[in-house]
Amino acid sequence: MSVYNGIGELTQNLFNVFDPELIIEPSAGKTFRTGNIEYDHLKGLEGVAYVTELVEENAWLTLKQAEAIVQLRGVEQNYGHATGLDTMLYEGEYLLSDDNTHYLLLGWNIMMRLGVNSMTNVPLSVHIPKRGTKSIGLTMDEAFMNGYAYVAGTFQVQEEIDNLYAVTDIDFVRQLMNYADDEVTALAVELREDANLAKVKKKMLSQLGDGYTVKDRYDQKPLYYKIFRSERLGVFLILSLIVLISTLNIIASLSLLITNKRKDISTLRALGMTSKDVRRVFFDEGLMIALVGVIAGLVTGFAVCMLQQHFGIVKIGANAIVDAFPVAMRVVDFVATFGVVTLLSAFVVWLTVRHVGIQEPRPTVGGTQ
């Protein structure tokens, strides 16, 4: 469970490089203008670290015979530093614009499809469909807004992102889309470390009104988070089944113990104990066996996880984002494991002592039993 948590957190952190903590979008339509909202007041809300503008549009990148359909994300210059995208560069540098020259940061898979890198000294052609036009029967210049941009670098975040996104300067995308200087498709919001996400989200919704939506990371990728939680539950149920099967060892141990202790059982009965009392003795002993096992297992698991966290003993392999399997221990996993193992063991022990080898004493005849 701790390794699964570690992999999940690693994947989420990679998504977080691209997905802001909160994103503001119009409820209807594709764009809105920051001049129509209290933009400065929004940036000054308690808990907000910064708000940056985004303009996204599907684009067609071409270079000679190579081509790629991408989600072109126009961002402000500080976007990379704020999100950490500038630390995820595979090669090249984080550069969006320089004087009148525009640059692109490409996902690694897009770079491979186009056959380019930051050393390519030929600009890519960027084509975005014109709004309100139909491409049938039109020339390229009539159907598309066209621009040129050089490749500044390549990022490697996560396969889904690397296969889809290209990042550039927001003014370049506005120019291609004929947008106004304050027109955006979304606002990306990053919070301070001590901020309460739910409270900030509620304040923003109250300030913006019904014409806008505020999405957290779960809202931005609901399918991913639902699948992750379902998989985690599935893993826990499979492990519970393994524990249930392993309790067969307790059945075998208790059955042999009861068989070997028949004389002791007779002695206990002679001392006045009933069959119920004898079953309680063996139930307590079986439960002690289970508790010793689960405590020893949790301590061993904790030690193994600590070794993996600090020394990375189990490696993932070459070409991975991290060298070793990540581990993230959570108290709830230890508590849940202890509870499930204890309850399953108690149930199995109860069934065993109830049905195996402990019978009511036979009535005495002539002073002998």
pLDDT tens per residue across all 369 residues of the chain: 898 888 888 877 777 777 888 999 999 889 999 999 989 889 999 999 989 999 999 999 999 899 999 999 999 988 888 788 888 898 999 999 988 899 999 999 999 999 999 999 999 999 998 876 665 556 667 778 999 999 999 998 888 889 999 999 999 999 999 999 999 999 999 999 889 999 999 999 999 988 999 999 888 888 878 888 888 888 889 988 888 888 888 888 788 888 888 888 888 878 888 888 888 888 888 889 889 989 999 999 999 999 999 988 888 876 667 788 899 999 999 999 999 989 988 888 888 887 665 555 555 544 444
Task: Say whether pTM exceeds 0.75.
Answer: no
Question: Quick one: which H or E segment has residue 333?
Answer: helix 331-355
* CB of 110 closer than 8 Å to CB of 123: no
| Three-state DSSP class for residue 271 | coil
Q: Where do the structural domains in the chain lie, given as residue ranges? A: 20-216, 225-355
How far apart CA 343 and CA 31 sit, in angstroms, is 55
Amino acid present at 98: D
Give 49's Cβ-side CA count (13 Å radius).
Answer: 18
Question: What's the CA angle centered on 355, arms 354 and 359, to 5 degrees?
Answer: 85
* CB of 84 closer than 8 Å to CB of 14: no
Nearest Cα residue to 185 out of 32, 71, 52: 32
- Percent of the chain that is helix, strand, coil (3-state, to 5): 50, 25, 30
Greatest CA separation for the chain: 115
Residue-level pLDDT at 262: 81
Residue-level pLDDT at 261: 80
